[in-house]
Amino acid sequence: MSWTRKLVPSYFSGAVLAAIGFIVGSQYVWRVIGGANWDFNDPGLIGNFLEQGFLAGFVLMTFGWLIGIGAFKYPLSWMLGLKDPDHNEELRLAGKGDGIIRYFRFTTDHKVVGIQYLVVTMIMLAFGGLGAMLIRTELMFPGAWAFPKETYNTIVTMHGMLMILTVISFFVGPFGNFVIPIMIGARDMAFPRLNALSIAFLIIAMAVYAFIPFMGIGDPITTGAGVQTGWTVYGTLADQTGIGVDALAMAVILAGISSQMGAVNLITTVIAMRAPGMSYTRMPMTVWGSIGASILAALGTASLTVDLVMIISDRVFRTSFFFAATAGDYAGSGYVGGGSAWLTQNLFWFFGHPEVYLLVLPAFGFVMDMASVFSRKPLFGYKTAILGLMGVVVLSFLVWMHHEFVSGFLPELRGFYMASTELISVPTGLIFLVLLGTMWRGRIWMTVTMGFVFAFTWSFLIGGITGIYLSDVPADVQLHGGMFVTAHFHYTIVGGALMGFLGAVYYWFPKMTGRMMDEKIGWISFWGIQIGFNGTFLAMFYVGLQGMPRRVADYSPLFAGGNLVASISAFVLGASVILYFYNVIYSWKAGPIAEANPWGAKTLEWTTPTPVPLENFGEIPVVTSGPYNYAEPATPSGVPARGVEAGPAIG
Amino acid sequence: MEISLGGQGASSHASHIDEEGKVRVGMLFYVVVDIMFALFLVSAYVFLRGVNVNNLWFPDGTQNIDLTQTTFLTGLMVASGLCFVLAHWAVRQGIGGLVKLGITLAAILWIVTLILNVQYMGHLPFTQSGGGFASMYVLFTAYHIYHLLLGLMFVIGITIRALQGRYTRERHMGITTIGYYWYWVVVFGIVGYLLPIILPGPMH
Ligand code: HEM
Ligand SMILES: [Cu+2]
């Protein structure tokens, strides 16, 4: 194959067309349309040609990227009624016979997409982590000593939203794509092209996101570069902040499209592509958890998209969804008003609360699977676990107003939302029951993965219980807007979702890369992460109870002690995560070669050879029993099962 | 997990859903995602009207929309949907000529609706900055136009295939699945039409 055929189409040609698209779009607005009317003294709060140009640039940039990577080829040929591609062409698109270049292309093989997701999410995690370190640097001492306050606010916003996007992509991205089709005995995802498209959307979303800190520098009207709203981008604040918020809104809309596509694809795959005998009650919990998350993504994300579309349109087209002023107030600005601040809060949190469970549901599933593998016991209460997961899915749509207890919106409903929020701890409790019941009296094999399972159990417990504090209205009136809330959701997201993810990387690494991760570095980074994490956020609970507000660069010396502890611990956490990353990179290159089933697990993905061939199975397997039968004699190429048949184990 | 290779019925799937079913499930879920989007738009409309901040939902002196025009546009959309229903029925009966006719008519009506809607949006009696109702109404119209634009791909594709005679009584998955999208866009058109009638802009 010649070089041009290898590089066109690929991510490289996509990047070139994306750059051209951005330049054409923005320059067209700035020079051609805006040229004559350029007016920095616009009396409006916002909404000048500067940001319209950026927006046009982002839209064309996205189209350029999609054209450049060849995403339109199939839809166009379908539209024109041309011949459908045959199996050989499909295989070529899946990367058959291509070397490393298939990772830099629009490739349909779900395993390639899984690896692409793994790398992209890891990079996102690294940048988000960098933001966290900058935040903790600023908060190490009282006084805004490290950054100007506007810069600090921008860092907080960018860190928050980037991490949320990262964790949303963590599970359905790398593992949902790589592992789940093999787990249910399928040859690929239901819609391989949609799959390749979803990672492409995530990449371009991140490219747009990278514009945020650079937009609006030197613009005298807006309040400097960046976005100062916090990750919740309440429309009322977004209407007044720097123009970076346009990039943020665009990026999150694109990432939302990406996760909706991933969700639809995953749900369809599980409904339609299971191998013979793989009934719903034989699916591993990983699949169930990811399905729960996909349902939340499919149903909830639209609410955020509507919110963001309204934000952009308020700023750029001067609509008044969130703009409440009376006509006289902004005479001449083009605004009339009539919008509501509560609208943005409700739209955001109707997405926002299901979203926090979207972050953690797959982790529930993963952790239950891993607990069963390393306790060498069947899952304790399979149906109970499904009930727990689905209970969370349903309830999480009924609690969003616990984020608005002090907003003044319908105070009569606070009692209801308090009760419904506390109700969620019931299905969550079921999951804990299953998890503990599975480990109980098992013969625990203490791998690093299992370490992360324990860490999950510990920190999610704290996260959940502090959530109950917050759902209590009188307590929340005190704690809302403070560091206690920040500590709560870091215990659930870092302590829950991230621990599950780090454990899962360690667990599936042999299947994904063909090599084992290093056990010793693994344990060192594990303990560093635990000490750093708990130190940071326990200290944050403490300053939160003392009354320290969140999202401020400067604070009273009263809170100095707790913040110093939190910052030092955070640096330990950061260093340990770097060590974890080093382990991933080092082991990927030089780790010991893995066998097909190093953990002796029972699920389908471990029955395939490593590396997993294109199309996964030579012949589609017929499944004849559940995923956790450790009493069975042996799995193909697996180590013999331990634990259950060995009689009651002690310890 | 016990597995057997090449055992009983290795060719049949547990899910008993074939290639066609896969596309059908996928399209259904896509439409569900789209319905959620519309649901939030409608909720926002009802919400802003309900709170009517500063009495600026429909500021004094704002001109209302012209119902005869919207009735006409919605009528076109419904007619397009009906032609599609006809084609869908015909393909199940195996009446090839009627399939071609139905789909072509439905497609032409779709495209005409698109053009007229763009024109309609350009000539509204208010601008998008004219208060809560005006903002919501323009967003609704824009969303409808987005539907019609995106659907253009389906419309062209399905028309070409129908005219090539590729849909038969046995194989017409394209018509079924694109039908989901088609009907949903018609339904959204009706919702967008009825909402300002049931809960009008002017509050008195
Ligand atoms: C038993 C379960 C939980 C309960 C009862 C609960 C309760 C609450 C409440 C009442 C708040 C509002 C605090 C305030 O702003 O005043 C809150 C905030 C939050 N929770 Fe939870 N929560 C639970 C689990 C989770 C989980 C599993 C996650 C994520 C994986 C999560 C993530 C968050 C986030 C991100 C916020 C803060 C949002 C913000 O203001 O920026 N929570 N939680
Ligand atoms: Cu919540």
pLDDT tens readout for residues A529-548: 999 999 999 999 999 999 99
Contact in structure between A368 and A431 (CB atoms under 8 Å): yes
Phi/psi at A576 (5° precision): -70, -35
Flag whether pLDDT at A189 surpasses 60.
Answer: yes
The 10 Å CB-count burial string (b at 16+, else e) for A394-406 is ebbbbbbbbbbbe
CB contact under 8 A, B48 and A276: no
CA A214 to the chain's CA centroid: 24
Rounded Cα–Cα distance for residues A625 and A634 (Å): 13
Write out chain B residues lying below 8 Å of A347, CB-based: 40, 44
CB contact under 8 A, B44 and A310: yes
Contact in structure between A434 and A388 (CB atoms under 8 Å): yes
Does the structure's ipTM exceed the value 0.90? yes
Which has the minimum average pLDDT: A1-15, B106-120, B182-196?
A1-15
Q: Which amino acid would we find at residue A75?
A: P
DSSP secondary structure letters along A116-152: HHHHHHHHHHHHHHHHHHHHHHHHTSSSS-SS-HHHH
If one residue of A488, A545, A550, A551 were mutated to test the ligand 1 pocket, choosing by the most ligand atoms within 8 A of its CB, it would be A488
Which has the minimum average pLDDT: A252-266, A362-376, B3-17, B79-93?
B3-17
Per-residue pLDDT at A632: 54
The 10 Å CB-count burial string (b at 16+, else e) for A40-76 is eebeebbbbbbbbbbbbbbebbbbbbbbbbbbeebee
Contact in structure between B121 and B138 (CB atoms under 8 Å): yes
Which has the minimum average pLDDT: A322-326, A495-499, B135-139?
A322-326
Contact in structure between A381 and A437 (CB atoms under 8 Å): yes
* Residue A342 touches partner B, C-beta closer than 8 Å: yes
Per-residue pLDDT at A344: 95
Kindly give the distance from the C-alpha atom of residue A492 to the centroid of ligand 1, in angstroms, as a whole number: 8
* Residue B42 touches partner A, C-beta closer than 8 Å: no
Nearest by CB to B15, from A271, A298, A306: name it. A271
Q: Left, alpha or beta for B165 (phi > 0: left; psi -120 to 50: alpha)?
A: left
pTM for this entry: 0.93
DSSP secondary structure letters along chain B: --EESS-TTTTS-TT---HHHHHHHHHHHHHHHHHHHHHHHHHHHHHHHHH-GGG-SS-TTPPPP-HHHHHHHHHHHHHHHHHHHHHHHHHHHT-HHHHHHHHHHHHHHHHHHHHHHHHHHHT-SS-TTS-HHHHHHHHHHHHHHHHHHHHHHHHHHHHHHHHTT---SS--HHHHHHHHHHHHHHHHHHHHHHHHHHS-SS--
* Residue A186 touches partner B, C-beta closer than 8 Å: no
Mean pLDDT of A234-245: 86
Rounded Cα–Cα distance for residues B181 and A148 (Å): 51
- Higher-pLDDT residue of B36, A228: B36
Rounded Cα–Cα distance for residues A215 and B108 (Å): 44
Helix, strand, or coil here: A569?
Answer: helix
Burial of B85 (0-12, 13-18, 19+ CB in 10 A): middle
Flag whether pLDDT at A646 surpasses 60.
Answer: no
| pLDDT class of A388 with cuts at 50, 70, 90 | very high
Nearest by CB to B37, from A79, A305, A320: name it. A305
* Residue B121 touches partner A, C-beta closer than 8 Å: no
Q: What is the CA radius of gyration of chain A?
A: 25
Which has the minimum average pLDDT: A28-42, A243-257, A341-355, A365-379?
A28-42
Helix, strand, or coil here: A482?
Answer: strand
Phi/psi at A325 (5° precision): -60, 160
Note the ligand closest to the C-alpha atom of A392: 1
| pLDDT class of A215 with cuts at 50, 70, 90 | confident
Rounded Cα–Cα distance for residues B7 and A419 (Å): 52
Pair of tokens at residue A113: 């997409």
Contact in structure between A284 and A369 (CB atoms under 8 Å): yes
What's the pLDDT tens digit per position in B95-129? 989 999 999 999 999 999 999 999 999 999 988 88
Residue B178 neighbours by CB distance under 10 Å: 22
* HSE (side-chain half, CA atoms, 13 Å) at A576: 20
Q: Which helix (H) or strand (E) segment is A375 a member of?
A: helix A341-375
Q: Which amino acid would we find at residue A53?
A: G
- The DSSP code for A623 is E
Helix, strand, or coil here: A443?
Answer: coil
CB contact under 8 A, B166 and A81: yes
From first CA to last CA, the distance across chain A in angstroms is: 59
CATH of domain A107-604: 1.20.210.10
Name the nearest CA neighbour of B37 among A350, A168, A164, A234: A350
Please tell me if the CB atom of residue A359 comes closer than 6 angstroms to any atom of ligand 1. Answer: yes
If one residue of A232, A403, A414 were mutated to test the ligand 1 pocket, choosing by the most ligand atoms within 8 A of its CB, it would be A403
Residue A428 CA: which ligand 1 atom is closest?
Answer: 1
Whose C-alpha lies nearest to ligand 1, atom 32?
A: A489
* Residue A609 touches partner B, C-beta closer than 8 Å: no
Mean pLDDT of A43-54: 64
Contact in structure between A367 and A449 (CB atoms under 8 Å): no
Rounded Cα–Cα distance for residues B47 and B160 (Å): 43
Rounded Cα–Cα distance for residues A340 and A286 (Å): 41
Pair of tokens at residue A324: 């409440």
Domain with CATH 1.20.210.10 in chain A: 107-604
| pLDDT class of A324 with cuts at 50, 70, 90 | confident
CB contact under 8 A, B54 and A632: no
Flag whether pLDDT at A333 surpasses 80.
Answer: no
Per-residue pLDDT at B16: 46
Name the nearest CA neighbour of B39 among A299, A190, A248: A299
Arithmetic mean of pLDDT over chain A: 89
Write out chain B residues lying below 8 Å of A188, CB-based: none
Flag whether pLDDT at A515 surpasses 50.
Answer: yes
Note the ligand closest to the C-alpha atom of A349: 2
Domain range annotation of chain B: 35-198
Nearest by CB to A302, from B21, B37, B161: name it. B37
* Residue A131 touches partner B, C-beta closer than 8 Å: no
CB contact under 8 A, B25 and A268: yes
Mean pLDDT of A388-392: 95
If one residue of A406, A485, A501, A545 were mutated to test the ligand 1 pocket, choosing by the most ligand atoms within 8 A of its CB, it would be A485
Per-residue pLDDT at A615: 85
Helix, strand, or coil here: A593?
Answer: strand
CB contact under 8 A, A306 and B41: yes
| pLDDT class of A29 with cuts at 50, 70, 90 | confident
Pair of tokens at residue A509: 């690494």
| pLDDT class of A650 with cuts at 50, 70, 90 | very low
What's the pLDDT tens digit per position in A620-637? 888 888 888 876 555 444
Mean pLDDT of A282-308: 95
* Residue A345 touches partner B, C-beta closer than 8 Å: no
What's the pLDDT tens digit per position in A567-595? 999 999 999 999 999 999 999 999 999 99
Helix, strand, or coil here: A622?
Answer: strand
Name the nearest CA neighbour of A260 among A382, A154, A351: A351
Which has the minimum average pLDDT: A36-50, A529-543, B172-186?
A36-50
Rounded Cα–Cα distance for residues A622 and A630 (Å): 19
* Residue A150 touches partner B, C-beta closer than 8 Å: no
Contact in structure between A571 and A545 (CB atoms under 8 Å): no
Contacts of A212 (CB under 8 A, 6+ apart): A154, A158, A226, A227, A244, A247, A248, A251
Q: Which contacts qualify for A204-207: CB closer than 8 Å, 24 or more apart? A: A204/A18, A204/A61, A204/A62, A204/A65, A204/A66, A204/A254, A205/A165, A205/A251, A205/A252, A205/A254, A205/A255, A205/A258, A206/A120, A206/A124, A206/A251, A206/A255, A207/A18, A207/A61, A207/A65
- The DSSP code for A328 is G
Flag whether pLDDT at B11 surpasses 60.
Answer: no
Mean pLDDT of A438-460: 95
| pLDDT class of A648 with cuts at 50, 70, 90 | very low
Contact in structure between A337 and A316 (CB atoms under 8 Å): no
Rounded Cα–Cα distance for residues A613 and A143 (Å): 57
Per-residue pLDDT at A221: 53
DSSP secondary structure letters along B52-82: -GGG-SS-TTPPPP-HHHHHHHHHHHHHHHH
Q: Where are the beta strands (DSSP E) in A307-463?
A: none
Mean pLDDT of A332-352: 87
Name the nearest CA neighbour of A427 among A361, A500, A495: A361
Per-residue pLDDT at B18: 66
Rounded Cα–Cα distance for residues B29 and A194 (Å): 13
Write out chain B residues lying below 8 Å of A313, CB-based: 128, 135, 139
Mean pLDDT of B178-201: 95
Rounded Cα–Cα distance for residues A526 and A448 (Å): 7
Write out chain A residues lying below 8 Å of B47, CB-based: 340, 342-343, 346
CATH of domain B35-198: 1.20.120.80
Rounded Cα–Cα distance for residues A635 and B3 (Å): 9
What's the pLDDT tens digit per position in A75-118? 898 888 887 788 888 888 887 777 788 899 899 999 999 999 99
Which has the minimum average pLDDT: A279-293, A318-332, A375-389?
A318-332
Rounded Cα–Cα distance for residues B113 and B147 (Å): 11
Q: Which residue has the tokens 């937009």?
A: A215
CA A64 to the chain's CA centroid: 25
Mean pLDDT of B61-83: 94
